[in-house]
């Protein structure tokens, strides 16, 4: 689940097709969202799915294959790892992630390619976790132990151990008062529940912006003036149906950048003024408008001005 309403489920293939489902009502109902064919006799593994937002998700198989979507599960691409059973997949952003099982593989290009590092953890890894936008920090479970890395696997330390077998771990970053904490749980046999909590020291203002924002906002594009590309950033405190549209000074729509649902968080869109539905845009003033209808019922609407200077 990505929030109180939106989530995904993936099951083993049926009649040669992967079962990929989505809920938008908190799990009351589920709908199939993809026709992804099974490759050979591959099957899924329990802890091998990860979504960082409503658009970007991954899941691993028992055949050295990891699937990735960048459009909410409508289409998928795949890549291969150096080991067979991919028990765990987790990402901190759309580029940086890890897959684990009998081995550990890393990626810095969103899972297009995977590579190993000299350091490894003894034993088979059954679950892994990371917090969105916390770079370098990952947790791994091997039977009754939890290992941690703070540097993308360049080194590992034993973080926790106990007698009962652990099965799953998950963490997230939250704000309590003025401080940010990385916190989560590991669960396992005999009702075992272990809590993890670590103070996250934010040293740069930019790092603070990576956490879930408290309000809707639309930022000024940059660079501005621009030619021909510019970035437009906006923030959502909750998942929302989003429209991001560009108009010329006459009020005519020249580009539709977003018209779908986006998860809570900070988002960035790159607009190329040379790729506007075949229209040749001239220098001048343009306006970009953000409309957002949150799952909590709140709505947001704002317009800002930008300058194309050729």
Res 297: pLDDT = 83
> Is 226 found in the same domain as 197?
no
> Is 184 found in the same domain as 151?
yes
Evaluate if residue 202 carries a pLDDT over 70: no
Evaluate if residue 205 carries a pLDDT over 50: no
User: Which residues touch 4 (CB under 8 Å, ≥6 apart)?
Assistant: 26, 295
> Is 180 found in the same domain as 137?
yes
Summarised one tens digit per residue, pLDDT across range 297-308 is 889 999 999 999
Tell me, yes or no, whether 271 lies in a domain: yes
Q: Quick one: which of 308, 228, 211 has its CA closest to 264?
A: 211
Average pLDDT (113-125) is 91
The answer to whether 2 touches 50, Cβ cutoff 8 Å, is: no
Res 206: pLDDT = 42
Band of pLDDT at residue 211, cut at 50, 70 and 90: low
Asked which of 207, 238, 266 is the last residue of a domain, the reply is 207
Tell me, yes or no, whether 287 lies in a domain: yes
What string of H, E and C letters represents the secondary structure of 144-203?
CEEEEECCCCCCCEEEEECCCCEEEEEEEEEEECCEEEEEEEEEEHHHCEEEEEEEECCC
The answer to whether 6 touches 261, Cβ cutoff 8 Å, is: yes
Res 209: pLDDT = 47
Prediction pTM value: 0.71
Res 168: pLDDT = 96
The answer to whether 147 touches 140, Cβ cutoff 8 Å, is: yes
DSSP 282: P
Average pLDDT (118-127) is 91
Res 270: pLDDT = 86
> Is 130 found in the same domain as 75?
yes
> Is 153 found in the same domain as 22?
yes
Exposed, middle or buried by CB within 10 Å (0-12, 13-18, 19+), for 120? Answer: middle
Res 23: pLDDT = 93
Res 294: pLDDT = 87
Q: Which residue has the higher pLDDT, 296 or 92?
A: 92
Asked which of 153, 180, 207 is the last residue of a domain, the reply is 207
> Is 279 found in the same domain as 182?
no
> Is 129 found in the same domain as 251?
no
Evaluate if residue 296 carries a pLDDT over 90: no
Summarised one tens digit per residue, pLDDT across range 140-169 is 999 899 999 999 999 999 999 999 999 999
Q: To the nearest whole number, what is the mean pLDDT of the chain?
A: 90
Res 249: pLDDT = 94
User: Domain span at residue 261?
Assistant: 217-308
Evaluate if residue 100 carries a pLDDT over 60: yes
Asked which of 207, 240, 266 is the last residue of a domain, the reply is 207
Give how many domains the chain has, as a whole number: 2
Nearest 5°: CA angle at 90, between 87 and 95?
135
Tell me, yes or no, whether 83 lies in a domain: yes
Tell me, yes or no, whether 212 lies in a domain: no
> Is 232 found in the same domain as 202?
no
Summarised one tens digit per residue, pLDDT across range 61-70 is 999 999 999 8
> Is 91 found in the same domain as 222?
no
> Is 196 found in the same domain as 131?
yes
Evaluate if residue 94 carries a pLDDT over 50: yes
Evaluate if residue 178 carries a pLDDT over 80: no
> Is 197 found in the same domain as 233?
no
Band of pLDDT at residue 204, cut at 50, 70 and 90: very low
């Amino acid at each position: 689940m990505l929030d109180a309403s939106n989530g995904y489920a993936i099951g083993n293939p049926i009649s040669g097709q992967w079962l990929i489902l989505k809920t938008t009502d908190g799990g009351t109902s589920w709908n199939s969202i993809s026709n992804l064919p099974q490759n050979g006799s591959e099957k899924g593994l329990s802890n091998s799915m990860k979504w960082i937002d409503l658009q970007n998700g991954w899941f691993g198989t028992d055949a050295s294959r990891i699937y990735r979507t960048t459009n909410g599960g409508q289409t998928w691409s795949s890549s291969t790892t150096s080991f067979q059973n991919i028990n765990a997949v987790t990402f901190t952003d759309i580029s940086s992630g890890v897959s684990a099982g009998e081995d550990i593989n890393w990626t810095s290009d969103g899972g297009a390619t995977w590579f190993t590092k000299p350091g490894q953890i003894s034993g088979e890894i059954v679950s892994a976790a990371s917090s969105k936008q916390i770079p370098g920090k990952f947790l791994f479970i091997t039977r009754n132990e939890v290992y941690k890395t703070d540097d993308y696997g360049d080194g590992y330390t034993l973080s926790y151990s106990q007698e009962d077998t652990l099965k799953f771990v998950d963490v997230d970053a939250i704000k309590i008062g003025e401080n940010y904490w990385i916190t989560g749980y590991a669960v396992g046999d005999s009702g075992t529940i272990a809590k993890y909590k670590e103070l996250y020291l934010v040293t740069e203002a930019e790092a603070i912006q990576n956490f879930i924002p408290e309000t809707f906002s639309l930022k000024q594009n940059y660079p501005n003036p621009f030619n021909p590309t510019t970035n437009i950033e906006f923030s959502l405190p909750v998942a929302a149906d989003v429209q991001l549209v560009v108009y010329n000074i006459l009020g005519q729509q020249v580009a539709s950048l977003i018209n779908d649902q986006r998860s809570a968080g900070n988002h960035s869109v790159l607009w190329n003024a040379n790729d506007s539905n075949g229209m040749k845009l001239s220098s001048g003033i343009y306006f970009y408008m953000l409309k957002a209808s949150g799952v909590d019922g709140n709505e947001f609407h704002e317009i800002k001005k930008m300058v194309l200077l050729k």
